[in-house]
Chains A and B, each alone.
Chain A
Amino acid sequence: MKKLVILGAGTAGTMMVNKMNAVLNRDEWQITIVDQDPTHYYQPGFLFIPFGIYNRNDVLKPKKDFLPANVETVFSKIEMIEPDNNRVHIEGKRILDYDFLIIATGTRIHPEETEGLVGDEWHQSIFDFYTVEGAYNLSRKLKNWEGGRMVLNIAEMPIKCPVAPLEFVFLADWWFTEQGIRDKVEIEYVTPLPGAFTKPRASRLLGDFLTKKNIKLIPEFDIGNVDSEKKIISDYEGREIDYDLLVTIPTNMGDEIIGKSGMGNEFNYVPTDPQTLRSKDFENIFVLGDATDLPSSKAGSVAHFQSDILFENLLDAIDEQPLRAKFDGHANCYIESGFGKGILIDFNYDTEPLPGKFPLPGVGPFSLLEETKMNHYGKMMFRWMYWNLLLRGAELPIGSEMLMAGKRM
């Protein structure tokens, strides 16, 4: 029997196991998927929890519901990968051999990387919303908050879903308005980037939105330290910003086992060929989703587009053929902008977000780089698509390759 092992049963690993299970001959192949956590998280939903739009039950389901019954599922901690010996050590002294390995171990927040961030004030006056607990605790804080200065800080790039912090402040502006306390709240957006976003054209547009919503942008701030007693964040050049409520996007890093196995870069992301998605160092290892070191967004949409490419390339690799499919860096993000509206952006490695209609050129129904109600409905509908189609590896009406049709230069 040949063996395919998939590490990680999040968005990327789950999509991939369903795709591979549908085509690999079961008389020849044994598929195993490993993850330490039996709960699947709908991560795009975390954003809505602080504002009471979703609750915890909306974003959690058992992983088992989305994994094929005829695949071996192991809910255990991964201890170590030995890529030179084609095997993985998991908890309980078990060893999994593989012919091919897919690494989809994702990325997590590491607040301990910033001095002073974790302490007595963690989840008291300092919150993250990249975990269910953080988002839930923040919802409880916001319920009774009477106003003051709310600072959102991005500690270090790259982060998962680079638009989420913007969406957070847009929604906060809306939410405080609804609560009737917007005039008592100052919102500041403090980022290490030179502007609101990474891509120049979208950065300008989103920067204008910040201004319109009376949110102050403080760029090029590399946080060095948090004084949680005095409620001050400072950067490496001594600039200080005081806050009453700090919402942090802590340093994001790949899984520790990547570092432990000597397979990662300085963020524990796996060096990956940007087009074929094969590991740069090992011929029989492929990498998917947030676990890669690629200069593409760390987001579910990207993992989805990558999964189509990886599927084809893995089949080529199994047939000992050259890898033919090439990933173009395609990302597609709905950005909640508050008051029931949203902005949609679609881009890849080479093309920055452009205006136009999506997914049908000239028709829509969604508008690129514009704020519309329809874009917001798209975002809200997506949760159903995610649970019912995407994770199961079904075809979606959006191709993995970015299209120029429908876009205006």
Chain B
Amino acid sequence: MSEKQFAGVNVTVDDEGFMIDYTQWNEDIARGLAKEIGIEELNDKHFMVLNFMRKEFKEKGTGPSLRKLKNESGVNTKELYGLFPKGPAKKAALIAGITKPVGCI
């Protein structure tokens, strides 16, 4: 675990960079988190996905799978990869300030 500062706020993240407390999140923190993993700009589509992630997390306690994202976020798989290259479910979870999605075992 470590402390990081985004937009003037101290945020605690785990070893892989996922926020510990999702209630600390705001859009500026999201931009900071995105930069950390090489995504320079966040547009409306990004935020549409991020807000869906956060809503799911609030209701279910875990981030959605890629299939659920594709089915319900309003953004198709190809676009999801464009927005969050190399693993949209995981990358979007990180930027959305929620914990790493429960891995498949």
Nearest B residue to A297 by beta-carbon distance? B105
For residue B66, which residues in chain A have a CB less than 8 angstroms away from its CB? 156, 222
Shortest Cβ gap from B63 to chain A (Å): 13
Question: Which residue from A162, A198, A237, A267 sits with its C-beta under 8 Å from B67?
Answer: A267
C-beta contact mask, B58-83 vs A, less than 8 Å → 1, else 0? 00000011111001100001101100
B8 within 8 A of A: no
For residue B77, which residues in chain A have a CB less than 8 angstroms away from its CB? 222, 224, 236
For the complex, give the distance between the alpha carbons of A159 and B81 in Å: 22
Shortest Cβ gap from B14 to chain A (Å): 14
A224 touches B67 (CB 8 A): no
Question: Which residue from B64, B68, B85, B104 sits with its C-beta under 8 Å from A198?
Answer: B104
For the complex, give the distance between the alpha carbons of A265 and B59 in Å: 13
Nearest B residue to A352 by beta-carbon distance? B105
C-beta contact mask, A254-282 vs B, less than 8 Å → 1, else 0? 00000000000111000000000000000
Chain B interface size, as a band, is: 10 to 19
Nearest B residue to A349 by beta-carbon distance? B105
A220 within 8 A of B: yes
Q: List 28 A-B contacts (CB under 8 A).
A: A156-B66, A156-B67, A158-B104, A158-B105, A159-B104, A162-B104, A162-B105, A193-B104, A198-B103, A198-B104, A198-B105, A220-B86, A222-B87, A224-B78, A236-B78, A236-B81, A237-B85, A237-B86, A266-B67, A266-B68, A266-B71, A266-B72, A267-B65, A295-B102, A295-B103, A296-B105, A297-B105, A331-B105
Measured CB to CB, the residues of A under 8 A from B are 156-159, 162, 193, 198-199, 220, 222, 224, 236-237, 265-267, 295-297, 329, 331
A156-B66, A331-B105 are known contacts; what are 12 more A-B pairs with Cβ within 8 Å?
A159-B104, A198-B103, A220-B87, A224-B77, A224-B78, A236-B81, A266-B68, A266-B71, A267-B65, A295-B102, A295-B104, A329-B105
